[in-house]
Amino acid sequence: MQPYTYYDTNGDADVIVNVVPTAGSGKVWARGRYSQTVRPSSLSLRIGRGIEVWKIIDDLRLVDGDIDQVVSLYEPYVTRADVEGAVRYYKSDPDEIDKQLAAGLAEV
Say yes or no to pLDDT of 108 above 50: no
Contact criterion met (CB below 8 Å) for 58 and 37: no
Please tell me which residue, 54 or 25, carries the higher pLDDT value: 54
pTM: 0.85
Looking at residue 28, its pLDDT comes to: 87
Contacts of 102 (CB under 8 A, 6+ apart): none
Helices (H), 1-108: 53-62, 67-74, 80-92, 95-107
Band of the pLDDT at 36, cuts 50, 70, 90?
Answer: confident
Mean pLDDT of 11-37: 77
**DSSP tally for the chain: helices H, then strands E:** 4, 5
Q: How far apart are CA 23 and CA 107, in angstroms?
A: 32
